[in-house]
């Protein structure tokens, strides 16, 4: 039998198979200098403790908030959009991977021709009579085509597509964190706004009594008109702030409605009448490892897009070199449909191999390489900036959280003093040794401290949210502070 390797088709196939997959023109994967030199741990942390990501918002022990966030994760349209982009990226990854496999196609063909013999070779010889030539053929085929990936072009394209799909998955996670953060922010703004409206209403009542008392004292000549004017002006200013607070509350509820995919007039059943999230005072554990940055979806997405750009550069470099493709087809051919399936007598086989080398492309290949190289440099800079920004955001978030906790503690101590003063003035007035005006002033001072404390509580919650978002997760459970977001306690003698 003839040695099959004397056939050039088999020889090309053997050489290509031996060399396929041995070459990769993508640059080596190296971290940017700024990313490689990142510190080993974060600064500004207090207590020791391991880090365990979790559904950290459940630490607020608020079923309304939990239901709200579950609905946001289910119904938010930004997440639906990001999910659709992920599906498209995964499909593109499968498309880029398909080039690594043989392409197989099946076909059925039929042809019929009817033409005159005059003017053809069949009617040109002496004595030939005019007539018609009819031909009818039927064929079935199975075609095979395969490009051998000698220089790694197809593999690099597939890897680039896969990295883009993974980056899209990280983008979806980043969108989830953004929706959670926006929903939690809006929720605590609503809690604070409701609290501020309730306190403003109480202050208006107190100032209304204060104006009445001042008018009585003015009529008796005990105060000047200037003092009366100041009390009235203060009363009107607080009254004017109430519609503004109510408008702000309505706008915030509308923003939250968009986040959960609802119309604003359907938010009452989701929010309810009473909102009582617990303020969490957990300190940030000491020595958080820098590896936590890797779980941030923006950092992970940037790293995957850097890998995609690296593989894309390798694929474009491979276009400078020859490509070898193999093809084969087999089937049967006959003059009628029944004989078409008699493959033992009517079989057809075609084998082919093609070697294509670029000679002149008008600079297209070189320009594509320059574009890919520039994109790789761009993604390198993006990744380095993302890591640097993430590290800075974590440090700033931890610092802000610590400062907001201290600020809240200061205001909480003021509340104790304000409540004690109001209770003292209430007892003095009840015993006939103090004035009702002094009691009203002390009561108003207490409400103002409570108003500041409510805003401070919201700021603590949002600062904690900032740390969670910066780290991409949570930390271990620690003892909680008292519930300060509830309604302030009523004072003695207050109706």
For residue 467, the model assigns a pLDDT of 85
Least confident of 35-44, 61-70, 387-396: 35-44
Q: Does 18 or 276 have the greater pLDDT score?
A: 276
Q: What percent of the chain has pLDDT over 90?
A: 20
Cα torsion through 467, 470, 476, 481, rounded to 10: 10
User: Is 408 a residue whose pLDDT tops 70?
Assistant: yes
**Is a pLDDT exceeding 70 seen at residue 289?**
no
- DSSP-derived secondary structure for 396-425: HHHHHHHHHHHHHHHHHHHHHHHHHHHHHH
Least trusted range by pLDDT, from 98-112, 183-197, 229-243, 480-494? 480-494
Q: Is residue 354 part of a domain?
A: no
In sequence order, what are the residues at sequence separation of 6 or more whose Cβ sits closer than 8 angstroms to the Cβ of residue 192? 454, 455, 457, 458
Q: Are 170 and 86 spatial neighbours (Cβ–Cβ below 8 Å)? A: no
Q: Is the dihedral of CA 306, 311, 313, 316 positive or negative?
A: negative
Q: What is the pLDDT of residue 35?
A: 55
Cβ-count burial 440-449 (b if 16+ within 10 Å, e if not): bbbbbbbbeb
Phi, psi of 21 (to 5 degrees): 80, 0
- Please tell me which residue, 77 or 337, carries the higher pLDDT value: 77
What per-residue confidence (pLDDT) applies to 186?
92
**Has residue 484 got a pLDDT over 50?**
no
Judged by DSSP in three states, 275 sits in: coil
Residue with tokens 């790293």: 303
- The yes-or-no verdict on residue 409 having pLDDT over 80 is yes
Mean pLDDT of 424-430: 82
Per-residue confidence (pLDDT) for residue 53, from 0 to 100 = 45
For the segment 195-220, the average pLDDT, to the nearest whole number, is 88
pLDDT-derived band at 485 (thresholds 50, 70, 90) equals very low
141 found inside a domain:
no
Q: Give pLDDT tens digits for 69-123.
A: 888 988 999 999 999 999 999 999 999 998 888 898 888 888 888 777 666 665 5
Which of these ranges, 283-292, 294-303, 360-369, has the smallest mean pLDDT? Answer: 283-292
Half-sphere exposure of 122 (CA within 13 A, CB side): 10
CA 446 to chain centre: 43
Q: 320 - beta bridge partners?
A: none
- pLDDT given for residue 292 in this prediction: 65
Q: What are phi and psi of 50, to 5 degrees?
A: -75, 165
In a domain, 47, yes or no: yes
Q: Would you state the pLDDT for residue 350?
A: 86
pLDDT at 262 over 90: no
pLDDT of 15 reads 41
Helix axes 436-471, 364-430, angle to 10 degrees: 160
DSSP for residue 26: S
In a domain, 154, yes or no: yes
SS3 assignment, position 234: helix
Residue 385 has pLDDT above 50, yes or no: yes
3-state secondary structure of 490: coil
Give the CATH number of the domain where residue 214 resides: 1.20.1600.10
State how far the Cα of 278 lies from the Cα of 486, in Å rounded to an integer.
8
Is 128 within the bounds of a domain?
Answer: no
Q: Is residue 213, in this structure, part of any structural domain at all?
A: yes
- Residue 10 pLDDT greater than 80, yes or no: no
User: Residues 248, 439: contact at Cβ < 8 Å?
Assistant: no
Query: Which of 36, 295, 323, 386 shows the shortest CA–CA distance to 157?
Result: 323
Tell me which H or E stretch contains 87. helix 77-98
Extract the tokens encoding 150: 């000698």
Listed residue (86, 17, 393, 357) closest to 9, CA to CA: 17
Q: How many CA atoms lie within 13 A of 15 on its CB side?
A: 13
C-alpha 425/C-alpha 171 separation (Å) is: 58
Strand order in the sheet with 323-334: 103-116, 132-148, 323-334, 347-356
Domain span holding position 48: 18-102+150-322+369-471
d(CA 463, CA 62): 18
- Structurally, how many domains does the chain consist of? 1
Considering only residues 255 and 117, tell me which one the structure prediction assigns the higher pLDDT: 255
CA dist., res. 419 & res. 412, Å (int) = 11
Identify the pLDDT of residue 159. Answer: 92
The percentage of residues in the chain with a pLDDT greater than 70, rounded to a whole number, is 80
Q: What is the overall mean pLDDT for the chain?
A: 79
Query: Are residues 233 and 210 in contact, defined by beta-carbon separation less than 8 angstroms?
Result: no
Give me the count of residues in the chain: 495
Distance CA 334, CA 139 (A): 6
Taking CB atoms within 8 Å and a gap of at least 24, the contacts of 249-253 are: 249/190, 249/193, 249/194, 249/197, 252/186, 252/189, 252/190, 252/193, 253/186, 253/190
Instruction: Please report whether residue 445 resides in a domain.
Output: yes
CA 488/CA 493 separation, integer angstroms: 15
Which residue(s) pair with 330 in the sheet? 142, 349
Phi, psi (deg, nearest 5) at residue 354? -130, 130
pLDDT-wise least confident of 135-144, 199-208, 329-338, 447-456:
329-338
50 compared with 339, residue with greater pLDDT: 339
Position 345 in a domain? no
Asked if residue 249 lies in contact with residue 193, where contact means CB atoms within 8 angstroms, the answer is yes
Most confident range (mean pLDDT) of 155-164, 262-271, 394-403 is 155-164
| Mean pLDDT for the stretch of residues 211-222 | 85
Examine the pLDDT at 52 and tell me if it is beyond 50. no
pLDDT at 305: 92
| HSE of 434, CA atoms in CB hemisphere, 13 A | 18
């Amino acid at each position: 039998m003839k040695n099959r390797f004397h056939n050039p088709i088999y020889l090309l196939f053997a050489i290509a198979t031996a060399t396929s997959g041995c070459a990769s023109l993508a640059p080596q994967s190296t971290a940017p200098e700024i990313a490689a030199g990142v510190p080993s741990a974060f600064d500004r942390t207090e207590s020791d403790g391991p880090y365990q990501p979790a559904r950290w918002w459940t630490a607020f022990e608020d079923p309304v908030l939990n239901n709200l966030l579950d609905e946001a994760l289910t119904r938010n349209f930004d997440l639906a959009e990001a999910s659709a982009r992920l599906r498209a990226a995964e499909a593109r990854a499968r498309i880029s991977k398909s080039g690594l496999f043989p392409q197989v196609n099946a076909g059925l063909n039929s042809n019929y021709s009817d033409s005159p013999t005059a003017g053809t070779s069949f009617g040109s010889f002496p004595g030939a009579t005019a007539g018609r030539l009819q031909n009818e053929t039927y064929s079935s085929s199975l075609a095979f085509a395969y490009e051998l990936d000698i220089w790694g072009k197809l593999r690099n394209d597939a890897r680039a597509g896969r990295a883009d799909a993974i980056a899209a998955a990280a983008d979806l996670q980043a969108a989830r964190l953004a929706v959670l953060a926006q929903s939690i922010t809006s929720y605590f703004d609503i809690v604070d706004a409701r609290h501020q409206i309730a306190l403003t209403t109480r202050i208006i009542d107190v100032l209304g009594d204060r104006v009445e008392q001042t008018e009585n004292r003015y009529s008796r000549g005990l105060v000047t008109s200037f003092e009366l004017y100041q009390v009235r002006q203060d009363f009107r200013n607080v009254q004017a702030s109430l519609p503004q607070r109510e408008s702000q509350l309505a706008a915030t509820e509308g923003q939250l409605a968009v986040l959960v995919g609802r119309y604003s007039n359907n938010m009452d059943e989701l929010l309810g009448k009473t909102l009582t999230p617990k303020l969490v005072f957990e300190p940030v554990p000491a020595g958080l490892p820098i590896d936590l940055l890797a779980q941030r979806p923006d950092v992970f997405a940037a790293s995957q897009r850097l890998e995609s750009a690296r593989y894309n550069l390798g694929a474009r470099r491979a276009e400078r070199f020859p490509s070898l493709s193999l093809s084969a087809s087999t089937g049967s051919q006959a003059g009628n449909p029944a004989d078409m399936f008699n493959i033992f007598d009517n079989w057809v086989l075609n084998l082919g191999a093609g070697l294509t080398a670029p000679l002149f492309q008008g600079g297209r290949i070189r320009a594509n390489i320059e574009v890919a190289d520039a994109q790789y440099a761009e993604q390198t800079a993006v990744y380095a900036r993302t890591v640097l920004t993430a590290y800075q955001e974590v440090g700033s978030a931890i610092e802000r959280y610590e400062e907001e906790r201290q600020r809240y503690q200061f205001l909480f101590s003021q509340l104790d003093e304000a409540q004690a003063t109001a209770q003292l003035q209430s007892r003095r007035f009840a015993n006939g040794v103090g004035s009702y005006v002094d009691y009203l002033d002390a009561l108003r001072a207490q409400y103002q401290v409570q108003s500041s404390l409510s805003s401070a509580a919201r700021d603590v919650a949002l600062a904690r949210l900032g740390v969670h978002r910066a780290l991409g997760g949570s930390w271990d459970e620690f003892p909680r502070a008292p519930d300060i977001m509830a309604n302030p306690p009523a004072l003695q003698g207050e109706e």
